[in-house]
Amino acid sequence: MTVFRGGDAIRTFFEELDTWLSEPIEAYLLGGSAMTVHGLKDQTEDIDLGIGVVDEFEHVSQTLQSQRCKEEAHGFSRGRNPTRLE
């Protein structure tokens, strides 16, 4: 499981995700990950996203799978370092 320490780690992940996506999407950061970005928490173990358009959700899902992110019952996980995949 990846631990994202601080808002910068989450921002870095989204910058990397943006380079993987072939088209723009609209997503909402939720839960502990949103709290971490706003400095209300020190870290989070996952990134919770709300994506309201099915096609955009499928695009993100396929992109994460193509980057070897592991699909779990509640979503995807990455390697130990949030800016690199294992």
Instruction: List, for residues 76-85, the tens digit of each pLDDT value.
Output: 555 544 333 3
Task: Read off the pLDDT of residues 39-57 as tens digits, 9 standing for 90 and up.
Answer: 999 999 888 889 999 999 9
Residue type, 71: E
Three-state DSSP class for 29? strand
Strand locations in 1-86 (E): 4-5, 28-30, 43-44, 48-50, 70-72, 75-77
Six-digit token string for 59: 């695009």
* 48 strand-pairing partners: 30
pLDDT(23) > 50: yes
Q: Which of 63, 66, 69, 65 is nearest to 83 (CA)?
A: 69
pLDDT given for residue 2 in this prediction: 75
pLDDT given for residue 84 in this prediction: 34
Q: What angle (nearest 5°) sits at the alpha carbon of residue 26, between those of residues 11 and 66?
A: 70
